[in-house]
Amino acid sequence: MPDTGAMLPVQVSGLSYHAGGRTLIDQIDLEIASKGITVIMGPNGAGKSLLLRLLHGLLPPTSGSIRWDGQPASDAHRRRQAMVFQRPVLLRRSVAANIEFALDLHGNQDPARRDTVLSAVDLLDYAAQPARRLSGGEQQRLALARALATDPEVLFLDEPTANLDPAATAVIEAAVGRIRDAGTKAVFVTHDIGQARRLADDIVFMHRGRICETGYAVTFFDTPRTSEAQQFLQGELVL
């Protein structure tokens, strides 16, 4: 089990990101808890995926800071995180070789570890198959397995089920649930209210690059405080 106490919680202070003359993330202050699944939700264009990329260090913020357990974000922190993208990016190799690539980067060449993570997402029987010949759901499971291979302390998931059917979505959600139970912190982006209800321990609700509301999932879904969140949960258009 990863020692999440080592780099969490993450504290975000005055975080902004500007591009093309527009403010896409606007002065965000946020603290993400050490345990469980934090779901970042909101309508399209709210800045959810962008916030995830900033947290993971894929993009440098225009201003503001991200601190992991009080320390400024660094490459060392990123090596203890992993990310699953909305559209899985797989190497043009076999399923097993995709896992081995991530393992090699962390100095682990143990085939047992490779088989363990493939088993965790029910892909062990496909180990020798070309990764890009898998179905969309299988590809996303492989991307998840590759992320898990590095034994991350924090796992970022950017709408990993956005293009999947319900069966494939259920497999991914079950895997994420097991990851949470194993002690890994998960930060999950979705605009699917049902999925957020199923997975979230706590919620970050965004709209137009700002955080409107944060809190425990049960509280958020029962008594949303902001009009944007209320509209969103009622299925109304949030403009």
Partner 1 sequence: MQEFVAAFAEAFNLIVAGDGDLLEIVGLSLRVSLTAVGISCVIGFPLGAVIGIGDFRGRQCIIVCVNALMGLPPVVVGLVAYLILSNSGPLGWLDLLYSPTAMIIAQTILVAPIVTALSRQIVEDFHAEYAELFRSLSVPHRTAVTTLLMDAKHSLATVALAGFGRAIAEVGAVIIVGGNIDHLTRVMTTAIALETSKGNLALALALGMILIVLSLAVNATVSLLREASGQPADA
H or E segment and range at residue 148: helix 136-149
Cβ closer to partner 1: 22 or 92?
Answer: 92
Cβ closer to partner 1: 78 or 198?
Answer: 78
Which of 161, 148, 236 has the alpha carbon at shortest distance from 192?
161
Cβ closer to partner 1: 135 or 219?
Answer: 135
Cβ closer to partner 1: 127 or 170?
Answer: 127
Nearest approach in angstroms of CB 174 to partner 1 is 23
CA pair distance 98, 93, nearest whole angstrom: 6
In one-letter notation, the amino acid at residue 75 is: D
Nearest approach in angstroms of CB 53 to partner 1 is 8
Cβ atoms of 92 and 134 closer than 8 Å = no
β-strands 185-190, 37-41: how paired? parallel
The residues that touch partner 1, with contacts defined as CB under 8 A, are: 56-58, 75, 78-79, 81-83, 85, 89, 91-93, 101-102, 105, 130, 132-133, 150
Question: How many residues are present in the chain?
Answer: 239
In the chain, at which residue ranges do the beta strands (DSSP E only) sit? 10-19, 22-32, 37-41, 63-68, 71-72, 81-84, 154-158, 185-190, 202-207, 210-216
As beta bridge partners, residue 65 has 13
Nearest approach in angstroms of CB 152 to partner 1 is 10
Backbone φ, ψ for residue 18 (5° rounding): -115, 145
Nearest approach in angstroms of CB 78 to partner 1 is 6
Cβ closer to partner 1: 176 or 196?
Answer: 176
Nearest approach in angstroms of CB 11 to partner 1 is 21
